[in-house]
């Protein structure tokens, strides 16, 4: 195929979920509904936490940041797909694709670190309750957020700059509804060895270390809960961790699904569905998981809805 220079006017084609014209209105309505539910649900979580003084604790501080990240994560992929369906066009510019790659990496990384920070908060609350207020102080919480954001931004920019150094060919087809880093690298005409090494090394470090921390923390948490003599204390502890554990399982489960589908299957449709589960579904379900299984959050949402003239 004809090779483009590194900064040439390349356009990518996002193949999406289906080429069937009859399915496009259905897909548009489905993804628009999912996107609006994601924005509304996470926005309600943020407003409920900000408006209720009883929820100004480290756990809900991290939860509000997670909700904001979920809004940004879904916004980095879904609106572009909706625009393409509406315009009946699958193209995305080189700059637009590179920008999308960067933002997806930033918000995926930030969500990863926030889940690890929330796990650490649960670990301290259950395993070291008497020292909780000393350990989980305001400075530490802000530091964890800033550190997570900084690492995620550096990761996104690093991969984007590495992709910027690649040469691409014409008529580039991305078998996804957004520009995924792995798929974009596969379309390059130039050598991608360094890019692939960077992807594996960074993913192993930034994904593996938080996951190991989460696993270790929950082993300690379960061990501490089982040593509790009070059945009421056990129930409260399990209830506190239940929502977060569900979100962690959903996030990492779908992430592993993307990896397995891309590594062990040649079906692009299965890979697209796995990516959909990773980038859209968890962000939509997180508000429901936290609100339905958390009594304080349900009460805060009721107060917010009663006090708001718009809800």
| Structure confidence by residue, pLDDT tens digits, 91-126 | 888 899 999 999 999 999 999 999 999 999 999 999
Q: Which region holds residue 170: left if phi is over 0, alpha if psi is between -120 and 50, else beta?
A: beta
Output 203 or 155, whichever has higher pLDDT. 155
pTM across the whole model? 0.89
Averaged pLDDT, 190-210? 90
Q: How confident is the model at residue 32 (pLDDT cuts 50, 70, 90)?
A: very high
pLDDT band at residue 298 using 50, 70 and 90 as cut-offs = confident
pLDDT for 228 beyond 90: no
**Is there a contact between 284 and 32 (Cβ–Cβ < 8 Å)?**
no
Looking at per-residue pLDDT, the higher value among 135 and 267 belongs to 135
Q: Which residues contact 118 (CB under 8 A, 6 or more apart)?
A: 59, 62, 63, 66, 244
pLDDT for the residue 90: 84
pLDDT per position as a tens digit, 234-292: 777 777 788 888 888 888 887 777 666 665 665 566 667 777 777 888 899 888 888 77
The whole-number pLDDT of residue 260 equals 66
Give residue 227's pLDDT band: very low, low, confident or very high (50, 70, 90): confident
CA pair distance 5, 163, nearest whole angstrom: 13
pLDDT bin (cut points 50, 70, 90) of residue 34 is very high
Q: Which tokens in the block code for residue 90? A: 């699958």
pLDDT tier at 1 (50, 70, 90 boundaries)? very low
Q: Give the tokens for residue 30.
A: 């489905």
pLDDT at 307: 78
- Cα-based distances in Å from 17 to 23, 104, 141, 177, 237: 9, 19, 40, 7, 41
Which pLDDT does position 5 carry in this prediction? 44
pLDDT digits (tens, 9 = 90+) for 46-63: 998 988 888 889 999 999
Say which residue the tokens 């190991």 belong to: 212
Residue 173 phi, psi dihedral angles, 5° rounding: -110, 120
User: What is the pLDDT of the chain when averaged over all its residues?
Assistant: 85
């Amino acid at each position: 195929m004809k090779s483009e220079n590194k900064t040439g006017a390349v356009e990518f084609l996002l193949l999406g979920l289906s080429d069937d014209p009859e399915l496009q209105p259905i897909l548009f309505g489905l993804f628009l509904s999912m996107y609006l539910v994601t924005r509304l649900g996470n926005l309600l979580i943020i407003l409920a936490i900000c408006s209720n003084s009883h929820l100004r604790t480290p756990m809900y501080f991290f939860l509000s940041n997670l909700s904001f990240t979920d809004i940004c994560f879904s916004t980095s992929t879904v609106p572009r797909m909706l625009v393409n369906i509406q315009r009946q066009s699958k193209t995305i510019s080189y700059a637009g694709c590179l920008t999308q790659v960067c933002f997806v990496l930033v918000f995926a990384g930030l969500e990863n670190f926030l889940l690890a920070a929330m796990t650490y908060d649960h670990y301290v609350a259950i395993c070291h309750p008497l020292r909780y207020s000393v350990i989980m102080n305001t400075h530490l919480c802000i530091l964890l957020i800033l550190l997570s954001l900084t690492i995620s931004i550096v990761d996104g920019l690093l991969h984007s700059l590495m992709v910027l150094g690649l040469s691409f060919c014409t008529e580039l087809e991305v078998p996804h509804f957004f520009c995924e880093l792995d798929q974009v690298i596969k379309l390059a005409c130039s050598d991608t060895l360094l890019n692939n090494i960077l992807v594996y090394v960074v993913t192993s470090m930034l994904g593996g270390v938080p996951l190991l921390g989460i696993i270790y923390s929950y082993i300690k948490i379960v061990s501490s809960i089982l040593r509790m003599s009070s059945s009421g204390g056990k129930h409260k502890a399990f209830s506190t961790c239940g929502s977060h554990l569900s979100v962690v399982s959903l996030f990492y489960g779908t992430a592993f699904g993307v990896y397995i589908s891309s590594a062990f299957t040649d079906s692009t449709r299965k890979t697209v569905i796995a990516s959909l589960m990773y980038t859209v579904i968890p962000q939509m379900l997180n508000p429901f998981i936290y609100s339905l299984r958390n009594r304080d959050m349900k009460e805060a949402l009721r107060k917010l809805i009663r006090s708001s003239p718009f809800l």
